[in-house]
Amino acid sequence: MDRSSSPPPNPFSNSPSSSPIPTPPATHASRSTSPNPALPPSSIASPSPSHLRKPSSLISAASGSPPPTHRASFPDPSKQPKSGLTIGGPKAKEGYCCERDKEISLGEEIHIVDAYKTTEGGKASYITYVIQLGTHTTRRRYSAFLSLHQALTGLYPVLIIPPIPSKQSIADYAVKGQSKAKEDATVIARRKRLLEDFLRRLIRHPILGGEHVLHRFLEDGVSWSEVLHSPPISQLPRNPLHAPSHNPTFQPSSPTSDAPSTSTSYIAHHLLPTPSPTHPLRHPEQRFMDSEIFTEKFQNHFTGTMEKVNRRVTKRWGERAQDMSELGAVWNGFSLVEQGKLGLAVEKVGQAVDAEFLATAALLQAWERTTTEPLHIYTQFAGLIRSRLSFRHQKHVQYELVQEALETQKDKLELLENAEREARRLEDALERGGSGLTSPPVRSPEEERERLERARARSAGQGFGLLSAVKHSLSGMMDVDPEATRRANIGKTRDNISQLEDSLQASAQDLKYASTTLQADLDRFQRQKVADLRNLAIQLSKVHREWCKQNLEAWQAAQAAVREIDDHPNQPLPPAQPVQPESLSLPPSASTASASAPGSGASYGLGHGIGSGSMSMGGMRAEIEQVEAANKPLPLPDRSEQELNQGTQVLLREDDNDDDDDEDDSPFVEQGKGKKKETTTESQSHGPLGPL
């Protein structure tokens, strides 16, 4: 059967009579086909037949540089197919494809240096981000970053593409309004950091850093819309499961290509089934099962635990900063009321509280950059890895489904061939006069029944909508011309088997490439994750250390100002040793007076001693201070020397009057008690001798 003249049957259709194969577009060129540099530009633009015409988007009108003729990728691990089926992949990269590729290879850093609002190219305003790579700059908006991420995801379906910041939610637009939400300075600064992280991860990737689409994104003066409508992005299939994993943009050069292998490869991939991501596998690989389980736990831990706790902690730090701001204002207001050293100390305390508020605000900003954003990035990474593992799972399911379908078609062909051989044997026997009718059949009825049941079971387990092979055989036998129907079914089944073999070979290549490439990128991501989480912990500790350092300096200054304040007058003196009673050496006159006057108090004896002049004024004050230190009374205010002299004269007069009275006279005792009471009251109001 000539496949170039009539399309082959589709083994995954709902009936043996296959539906037409989707014809590849004639205007698309193969990814691995490069324009002929020997042809002048006029020959490219000149009219030509549709199957020879080059796409007009091969030459970019904005940059003047052609699209890539090769792409960086992992080496294709697939083996050479036995049927000569070859799938053209990207050519091996040699040298630098452009100036941006050279700068990236030399290790130039990439930064987003600015973000501003503009209305260039439209009426509505939008935010433009200025990207700097080495000495070159370019400007891109957020939608360009998003389309770049989608393009790289389609070009590399088994690589882990770094995430970009998500779009704003509807709640943000509802609360702030569309214009204010887009121009929010906090959102713009956060996007600026996350987009810069996205570009840094891209250029450091061993494969994505060599993609020419990324180089054109970083090239100034290139229309990004032109790049999106040029190969290879314009050649991406709608369903990546119907394209080779290592070259999703593979297409035959024309529908009537002279090379049957390219057309066969294209058809073989487009006839592959589209299984569900949850379809079970008969023979799963343990390493990818473990990767799926670990990734799910990783995502749940980051999304449900770490991010939730981190949001709660930062919220409480923000509330604490607000409280410190209010407390600092109160202390600063209180410092205006006081004066002197106390006012200065209160002001220093207020400044320390304000410094703690500023340090906490700086802590929250650094926390956002060093902890919150990396946690969110790795939460997105977990989702991207799960999607890549799901894609590889679907490729494995494709291989198993095609393998089952091939086994079913082979069993069906064997049944039809047995029936054809039996029919021919009967015809030959009838032509010889029935001499061959007694010959034994090729298979016993029990064996035929078992094969029939097995074919029914396999056909029932298929998800392609295939009808049972036995039903087609019976319908062919019940036809008007059963022999012609049976022979037609045999031909169709053989074509289906041939197509399934091609699809099985293509599916095996895709599965092997997807498994090898995804495992290599998972290993690279694991090393990167360990380094990033280590850096996250170090940066978080540095942020807290800086916060503690700033607070310590501010509060030490406040402590020094507080220590300069004078002691309070009512503050107790330092504890001293108690004074023994015998250590108080009273003068003889005071002792005699005390013994001669049994009812007299301590003040009387002391006054008598002072009156006799046997105790000097300085010694008396020293004794009084010792007694006060022993009893620990509150210190009384100091009096002037004149007040002390007045009190001494009063005591001397009273002492002279007491010496003239009789010691045994009871009226004298009563009168003396009255005198002592009056003197004590007067002493308490005039000097420190009152308590004695």
Give the per-residue pLDDT at 546.
94
| Whether residue 244 sits in one domain with residue 165 | no
Residues 327 and 389 in one domain: yes
* Pair (548, 505) in one structural domain: yes
Q: For residue 544, name the pLDDT band (cuts at 50, 70, 90).
A: very high
Q: Is the pLDDT of residue 403 over 90?
A: yes
In this prediction, residues 507-519 reach a mean pLDDT of 93
Is the pLDDT at 264 greater than 60, yes or no?
yes
pLDDT for position 226: 93
At residue 372, does pLDDT exceed 80? yes
Is the pLDDT at 28 greater than 60, yes or no? no
Q: What percent of the chain has pLDDT over 90?
A: 40
Is residue 343 situated within a structural domain?
yes
Distance (Å, whole) CA 520 – CA 522: 5
**Can you tell me the mean pLDDT for 226-254?**
87
> How high is the pLDDT of residue 285?
93
Least confident stretch, 171-185, 364-378, 458-472, 627-641: 458-472
What does the pLDDT average to over 259-277?
79
Residues 383 and 348 grouped into a single domain: yes
The reported pLDDT for the residue numbered 596 is: 44
Least confident of 142-156, 170-184, 494-508: 170-184
What is the predicted pLDDT for the residue at 687? 46
**CA nearest neighbour of 404 among 279, 220, 538:** 279
- Mean pLDDT (whole number) for 270-299: 91
- Arithmetic mean of pLDDT, 306-327: 94
Domain end: 543, 565, 587, which one?
565
Cα 161 to chain centroid, rounded: 14
At residue 159, does pLDDT exceed 90?
yes
Is the residue at 199 inside a domain? yes
493 & 345 share domain: yes
pLDDT over 50 at 269, yes or no:
yes
Range 48-64 average pLDDT: 34
How confident is residue 428, by pLDDT bands cut at 50, 70 and 90? Answer: confident
Do both 353 and 401 map to the same domain? Answer: yes
The Cα 382–Cα 264 span in angstroms is 37
| Range scoring the smallest mean pLDDT among 44-48, 191-195, 321-325, 510-514 | 44-48
Range of the domain at 129: 95-236
- Check which CATH number belongs to the domain holding 143 and give it: 3.30.1520.10
For residue 342, tell me if it sits in a domain: yes
**Are 232 and 294 in the same domain?**
no
Amino acid at 430: L
Q: What is the pLDDT of residue 199?
A: 96
Asked if residue 462 belongs to a domain, the reply is no
**Average pLDDT value for residue range 186-190:** 90
Residue 182: which pLDDT band, with cuts at 50, 70 and 90? low
Last residue of a domain, one of 533, 549, 565: 565
Q: Would you say 139 and 129 are in contact if contact means Cβ atoms under 8 Å apart?
A: yes
User: CA–CA separation, 154 vs 52, rounded Å?
Assistant: 27
Whole-number average pLDDT of the chain: 73
Residues 366 and 307 in one domain: yes
Q: Do residue 125 and residue 166 come from a single domain? A: yes
Query: Which of 221, 251, 219, 246 minimizes the C-alpha distance to 234?
Result: 251
What pLDDT is stored for residue 682 in this prediction? Answer: 44
- Residues 411, 499 share a domain: yes
- The residue ranking higher by pLDDT, 333 or 77, is 333
Of 504, 537, 565, which one is at a domain's C-terminal end? 565
At residue 544, the 3 state secondary structure works out as helix
pLDDT at 493 over 60: yes
- Report which of residues 643 and 274 the model is more confident about: 274
For residue 173, is it within any domain?
yes
Asked whether residue 625 carries a pLDDT value surpassing 60, the answer given is yes
pLDDT at residue 645 above 50?
Answer: yes
Structural domain contains residue 269: yes
Q: In the prediction, which pLDDT does 390 show?
A: 95
Same domain, 225 and 319: no
Confidence tier at 338 by pLDDT (50, 70, 90): confident
pTM check: above 0.85 = no
Residue 531 has pLDDT above 50, yes or no: yes
Stretch 674-685: mean pLDDT, rounded? 43
Selected residue with higher pLDDT from 90 and 110: 110
Q: CA 330, CA 334: separation in Å to the nearest integer?
A: 6
What is the number of domains present in the chain? Answer: 2
Q: Is residue 35 part of a domain?
A: no
CA-CA distances (angstroms) from residue 344 to 106, 351, 353, 356, 473?
58, 10, 14, 18, 105
Tokens standing for residue 188: 């713009």
Residue 580: pLDDT band (50, 70, 90) is low
The answer to whether residue 352 sits within a structural domain is yes
Report the distance separating Cα 95 and Cα 68, nearest Å. 13
> 3-class SS at 529?
helix
For residues 269 and 227, state if they share a domain.
no
CA 164 – CA 162 distance, rounded (Å): 7
> How many CA within 13 A on the CB side of residue 174?
3
pLDDT at 535 (0 to 100) = 95
Residues 6+ apart with CB under 8 A from 474: none
- The CATH number of the domain holding residue 318 is 1.20.1270.60
